[in-house]
Structure 1
Amino acid sequence: MNFDDTPQEAEFRSIARQWIDANAPKELEAELSKSSLGRIRLHDRDIVEVGKAWQKKKAEAGWACLHWPKEYGGRGASPIERVIWQQEEGVYGKLTQPFQIGEGMCGPTVMAYGSEEAKRRYLPKLASGEEIWCQLFSEPAGGSDVAGLRTRAERRDGEWIVNGQKIWTSGAHYSDYGLLITRTDPNVPKHKGLTMFFLDMKSRGVEVRPIKQANGMQEFNEVYFSDVVIPDSQRLGQVGDGWNVSLTTLMNERMSIGARLATGFPEMFEFCADLMLEGRPAIDDRAARSKLASWAVKASGLKYTSYRAISALSRGERPGPENSIGKLVAGSMLQDIATYAMDLEGAAGVLTGADEEEARGQFQQMLLSSPSMRIAGGTDEILRNIIAERVLGLPGDIRVDKHVPFNKIPTRGRT
């Protein structure tokens, strides 16, 4: 692959750079540059409101959701142009965090399975940041087994009545709409009785309860559904075909997470160059250099694996299981780097706060948030199975429940 810009790509990059230079909120650049370790932190501004303003400005100029068709709020740009934009947007891309689930996961699913009316109504407002979307998949009883979900949707007079619970829903507390997978037929095997919908998060019977995280943030939520009414027009795909619909969401999710997940390596390299250990920079220590070299190789591998996925998209292919590689490697790398940084800091690593040195507390936040990164979008174990079975072609795990109706699968306490 040739990584140099073609003349057309170079022109696109120049235009994008000029627009960003003229329009980016440069007063936030310093804060955004220091906020990649665990959480995006703006001291005096609400990240959602600031993000909406930046997203709206981009949309009005044709820079939001570049790869989407123009009629749905995009620019009709190529996958390579999308990458060029992300490179030039740089730290300001962190302001799009509230929209990443909608743009990277929900939007492509609505585009693939929604009616033309739904696509023209919802996608432009998603692209412009007017409406934020979340993804309602995980459940307390299912864990990493998405198909083990128990949230029920029952058809009644042309509508669907939903009851159940979801958990670990990122951004549900500020989302306007959500992509919801439910069980509509418990009498068939678990992967076959599912149906996908989208719903208004302000609907009667929807209750969102934030989950307090170890790092002090509240990004995840529990969501309860009590007799929530969803019109059949908000169904995505056929009744009972929700698993196939969800694969579109999940493949896009792993590509989106794997491409955007910070590993902490640039910050770690700078930290080791500045930190003094026994009178010399930590980077002069042989063990530290060995660690840095290993992470540099992984960071490079992640970069070019992402480019390979982009090349596949440029050929019109759907995101595939190989995108699980980026998320798997980046998640564990994030945790390893944070752990080693805390070891180097020693007792100072427990300190955090605005009055401390900039490095103090940042790796602590990174370490506290890193376990969630190894769960969100598929646990390490799930991703390894996907890579083994669908990329390497190895035999699949034995599944004793594969052909068993969902309501016949034993649960704890049931004989």
Structure 2
Amino acid sequence: AERVTGDDGKEYYIVNGQKTWTTLGQHADWGFFLVRTDPNAKPQAGISFLLIDMKSPGISVRRITTLEGGHEVNDVFLDNVKVPVENRVFHENQGWTCAKALLAHERSGIAGVARSKRGLERLRQMASTELADAGGALIQDPFFRRKVAELEIDLTALEFTELRTLAGESSGKGPGPESSILKIKGTEIQQRLQELALEAAGHYGAPFLGEAGHNSGIGPRHSLGLAGDYFNGRKTSIYGGSNEIQRNIISKMVLGL
């Protein structure tokens, strides 16, 4: 972004660039962008945090259709977008400081403990009606029961870790590297839930025809959309900073490696 003085005497940034995987960008009235305002600074410096009106001239939003056939994410293009300097959050060239704080809170939220607890209950209900190969309810199958039990143990441990993190925040201590632990385990649990749901539904969970697959009426109601959920859920271990990056953060900030 280049800083200029407009004909009205006010200061503006002229922003050019592209942001991909912008979640729900097609509905946004405003967006926040991290833009480079000092090209000579090291990579994590020289970045400013700008609030930009998504209706500004020069902004275009292009749909990205994801594996399950949905429109959740987008490409956003900025072509000579004029942004008032007063729309900057915090100091110029120090936007990464804001971004790191936001990411720590985002990663804590990505853990999704409450959502996974609901998913686990739904999985149990499915397994109580689906039949195992040997007969009887799938939830009575010892191998499947073990998978569910292991998942519940991990989810309970994650919940207590999240509660400790929240307790620290309430006492004025912001989330630190523990947010990376929450993000890793939370997304792994979410993906394991999706995998077990597909396993429980068996062949009824396999058909997938995009949007038509959600309304095809094949199999019991709880099997509809499971394949789409599985495909869409592959992204959870990538967004908010990939899980590999989170392990690097933990090794540096916790283990000192």
TM-score by length of 2: 0.88
1:183 aligns with 2:44: no
SS of 1:359 mapped into structure 2: helix
| Residues 301-333 of structure 1 deviation map (CA, whole Å, 9 limit, x = unaligned) | 121111111101210222222122222112122
Cα distance between partner residues in 1 of 2:165 and 2:237? 21
1:275 aligns with 2:108: no
Alpha-carbon spacing, 1:283–1:181, altered in 2? closer, same or farther (3 Å): same
Alpha-carbon spacing, 1:258–1:206, altered in 2? closer, same or farther (3 Å): same
1:218 aligns with 2:71: yes
Contact 1:261/1:327, CA 8 A, preserved across alignment: no
Per the alignment, residue 353 of structure 1 pairs with: 214
1:393 aligns with 2:255: yes
SS of 2:92 mapped into structure 1: coil
Per the alignment, residue 229 of structure 1 pairs with: 82
Gaps of 5+ in 1: 1-152, 396-415
Cα distance between partner residues in 1 of 2:214 and 2:71? 18
Per the alignment, residue 19 of structure 1 pairs with: none
TM-score by length of 1: 0.56
SS of 2:223 mapped into structure 1: coil
Per the alignment, residue 298 of structure 1 pairs with: 154
State the Cα distance separating 1:342 from its structure 2 match. 2.2
1:253 aligns with 2:116: no
State the Cα distance separating 1:335 from its structure 2 match. 1.8
Q: Give, as a single letter, the amino acid of the residue that structure 2 aligns with 1:347.
A: H
Cα distance between partner residues in 1 of 2:186 and 2:129? 24
Contact 1:350/1:361, CA 8 A, preserved across alignment: no
Contact 2:19/2:77, CA 8 A, preserved across alignment: yes
1:308 aligns with 2:164: yes
Gaps of 5+ in 2: 6-10, 208-212
Cα distance between partner residues in 1 of 2:223 and 2:112? 27
1:169 aligns with 2:22: yes
Cα distance between partner residues in 1 of 2:189 and 2:112? 14
State the Cα distance separating 1:336 from its structure 2 match. 2.2
Alpha-carbon spacing, 1:293–1:331, altered in 2? closer, same or farther (3 Å): same
Alpha-carbon spacing, 1:260–1:289, altered in 2? closer, same or farther (3 Å): closer
Q: Within 5 A, what are the aligned runs for 1:10-409?
A: 153-157=1-5, 158-259=11-112, 262-263=115-116, 264-278=119-133, 279-351=135-207, 352-354=213-215, 355-356=217-218, 357-390=220-253, 392-395=254-257
Which gives a bigger RCO, structure 1 or 2 (Cα 8 Å, sep 6+)?
2
State the Cα distance separating 1:189 from its structure 2 match. 0.9
State the Cα distance separating 1:393 from its structure 2 match. 2.7
State the Cα distance separating 1:191 from its structure 2 match. 0.9
Q: Give, as a single letter, the amino acid of the residue that structure 1 aligns with 2:201.
A: E
Higher strand residue share: 2
State the Cα distance separating 1:224 from its structure 2 match. 0.2
State the Cα distance separating 1:246 from its structure 2 match. 0.9
Q: Which one is further off, 226-235 or 342-351?
A: 342-351
Cα distance between partner residues in 2 of 1:260 and 1:209? 32
Cα distance between partner residues in 1 of 2:45 and 2:214? 50
State the Cα distance separating 1:365 from its structure 2 match. 2.3
Contact 2:128/2:138, CA 8 A, preserved across alignment: yes
Q: Give, as a single letter, the amino acid of the residue that structure 1 aligns with 2:136.
A: R
State the Cα distance separating 1:164 from its structure 2 match. 0.4
Cα distance between partner residues in 2 of 1:189 and 1:163? 20
State the Cα distance separating 1:247 from its structure 2 match. 0.9
Alpha-carbon spacing, 1:260–1:155, altered in 2? closer, same or farther (3 Å): farther
Per the alignment, residue 107 of structure 1 pairs with: none
State the Cα distance separating 1:261 from its structure 2 match. 7.1
State the Cα distance separating 1:266 from its structure 2 match. 2.0
| Residues 132-157 of structure 1 deviation map (CA, whole Å, 9 limit, x = unaligned) | xxxxxxxxxxxxxxxxxxxxx11011
Cα distance between partner residues in 1 of 2:71 and 2:192? 23
State the Cα distance separating 1:239 from its structure 2 match. 1.4
Per the alignment, residue 150 of structure 1 pairs with: none
SS of 1:226 mapped into structure 2: strand
Per the alignment, residue 210 of structure 2 pairs with: none
Contact 2:110/2:186, CA 8 A, preserved across alignment: no
